């Protein structure tokens, strides 16, 4: 993945999470800030972030991978997205 593309993805995610999930676009979210274990976003939101990643970034993260390890911060999400972009995987349902 190109560095600029990675930066764009990171920014898109951050904008979406602060504006739509935390509902405070001004929130100074750090890339390593724990989102779920830090009590910032609830587990319902994880499903919606996954949909956002799929529709806006074009990467599908299998729902069995939507865990604390892959989703607890912007850094972790970006790492998982990079893995998905590096090699094709398709365990689709719906």
Contacting positions for another protein (CB under 8 A):
34, 36-44, 46-48, 50-51, 55, 63-64, 66-68, 72, 91, 93-94
Residue among 10 and 48 whose Cβ is closer to another protein:
48
Spatial separation of the C-alpha atoms in residues 20 and 94, rounded to whole Å: 24
Residue among 1 and 54 whose Cβ is closer to another protein:
54
Residue among 6 and 18 whose Cβ is closer to another protein:
18
- Cα torsion 86, 82, 85, 92: sign: positive
Spatial separation of the C-alpha atoms in residues 37 and 53, rounded to whole Å: 20
Closest CA relative to residue 94, chosen from 56, 51, 65 = 51
Shortest Å, Cβ 7 to another protein: 26
Shortest Å, Cβ 61 to another protein: 10
């Amino acid at each position: 993945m190109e560095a600029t593309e990675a930066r764009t993805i990171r920014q898109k995610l951050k904008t979406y999470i602060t504006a739509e999930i935390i509902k405070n676009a001004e929130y100074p979210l750090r890339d390593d800030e724990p989102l779920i274990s830090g009590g910032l976003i609830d587990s319902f939101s994880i499903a919606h972030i996954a949909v956002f990643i799929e529709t806006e970034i074009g990467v599908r993260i299998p729902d069995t991978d939507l865990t604390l390890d892959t989703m607890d911060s912007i850094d972790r999400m970006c790492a998982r997205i990079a893995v998905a972009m590096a090699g094709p995987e398709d365990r689709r349902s719906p």
